Structure 1
Amino acid sequence: MEQVTAGEALAIDYAESEVLLDPAGAAYFADDRLLVVSDMHLEKGSSFARRRVFLPPYDTAATLARLAAMAAKYNPSTIVSLGDAFHDDEASERLGADAIAAIRAIASGRDLVWVTGNHDPSPPEGVPGVSVEMLAFGQTIFRHIAERDETGHEVSGHLHPCARLAREGRAVRRACFASDGVRLVMPSFGVFTGGLNVRDAAYDGLFDASRFRAYMLGTDRVYAVGPKGLIGD
């Protein structure tokens, strides 16, 4: 099972409150005691196995261990999973007893909210928590896919943002939070998920380029990088 490093979060000002961006890929809204993750893609391994593409069957346990570590670190009153928590619409039915017990332990004493995504449009079966299409919390809208006509603060997932930085002839590519201070796009939290470079056309029009930052995930800290230092794949 994956060991989770208790790295140092980066504090940013967002929607007139402090948000901690954790190097594990979770965001903690301190004023509201709200922990947000996105795109866990639980049971991706079993989904691939149904198509005879065999991956190590430990992704769900490892991802839930990471979520449990974040819950222990921040002790939130609410956890929001921002869509694609499950890799397909039947994935929650394939959860084993250990996974269900892990989710129950994570949810104990707090609210657990499942925002539906494009991979999991139906409410999950047999797990604690409530399912919603989107969530309005304070000044911020939480949804799976960013809406380009949204003018207020919006936190979304779906794109699995990553950033590539080149310096002194070397390049590094890491998952990242992507934000201009109004929109915040979360990195994917699942251990079997890839990433889409923030220079990809899929991000066009989402951010104010003059205020854009990629908050790249390091081993034990988060690095804020402006657009001039970023390159495509």
Structure 2
Amino acid sequence: MVPFSFAGEEFALTQGRALYWPRERALLVADLHLEKASFFARHGQMLPPYDSRETLERLALAIRETGARRVYTLGDNFHDSAGTERLEPHAAGMLAALTRATDWVWITGNHDHAMEASIGGTLADELDIAGLLLRHRAKPGETRPELSGHYHPRLHLTVRHRRIRRPCAVISRDREGSGRMILPAYGALTGGMDAADPAILKALQPARAIDAVVSAGDRLATFPLWRAAA
């Protein structure tokens, strides 16, 4: 894990795209998109039906490694609201064990706005935890500290004539030193949007600077995406 400061709090970015908040003993993840493969299968596109199992295995490992006692998922937890009904028994058992072992809160998103908490945990549209807003989609014009998902940001780089695409977090800073952060998608079967896409940059305004950040061994690598005119 790579520790860093954000919005007056200490956090750590894990190698597996999760964010750990030590003071709250909370693990935050965005865009699990559980049961995406089964959703596509119902519409005629057959994919290996193991994406939920892989995502939950990685999430269970992150909980063990961080010692998290709380889990906040930042929306699009399932690829559709009926996804909870399609979980195969093994994945369903894994999820039930995780939601029993932690204080688990599902923040709903645009893909799963009608999901039910029959699988364990509690539901919320958004939360305010110690002055930090947790929601699925960044709210343009928001001036309070915020954590969100939705955009699946990926850093696009060209290194030695090779194109590299890597999931990343995107952090904005305002003139008061506060900021907002969009987490990378956590699910095993999720694509991504260029972190410098205008839609992401617009969602994080107002800002004086916007950067992509990725964990690189024991340090946090920062890549400037946008700067306000002087």
TM-score, structure 2 as length reference: 0.89
Instruction: Provide the C-alpha distance between the structure 2 equivalents of 1:46 and 1:153, rounded to a whole number of angstroms.
Output: 36
* 1:41-72 CA distance string (max 9 Å, x none): 00000000001100111101000001100111
RMSD, aligned α-carbons: 1.9
The alpha-carbon distance between structure 1 residues 64 and 156, as it changes in their structure 2 partners (threshold 3 A), is same
Tell me, yes or no, if structure 1 residue 201 matches structure 2 residue 198.
yes
Counterpart secondary structure, 1:107 = helix
Q: 1:142 & 1:48 partners in 2: Cα distance?
A: 29
Residues in 2 aligned to 1:28 and 1:204: alpha-carbon distance in whole angstroms: 24
Show the counterpart of 2:97. Answer: 105
**Partner Cα distance (1:96, 1:194) in 2:** 23
Q: Which residue of 1 aligns with 2:176?
A: none
Number of aligned pairs? Answer: 220
Instruction: Give unmatched runs, 5+ long, in structure 1.
Output: 1-8
Structure 2 unaligned regions, length at least 5 = 174-178
Q: Is structure 2 residue 168 aligned with structure 1 residue 171?
A: no
Aligned partners of 1:131 and 1:228: how far apart in 2?
34
Question: More displaced, 199-208 or 179-188?
Answer: 199-208
Give matches, 1:1-233, under 5 Å. 9-181=1-173, 182-205=179-202, 206-207=204-205, 210-216=208-214, 223-227=220-224
- Sort the Cα spacing of 1:98 and 1:145 in 2 relative to 1 into closer, same or farther, 3 A: same
Separation in structure 2 between the aligned mates of residue 17 and residue 102 of structure 1, nearest angstrom: 31
Please give the TM-score of this superposition, normalised by the length of structure 1: 0.88
The Cα of 1:89 is off from its aligned counterpart by 1.1
**Cα displacement (A) at 1:114:** 0.3
TM-aligned CA distance change 1:191 to 1:109, over 3 Å: closer
Displacement of 1:36: 0.3
In structure 2, distance between residues paired with 1:36 and 1:216: 16
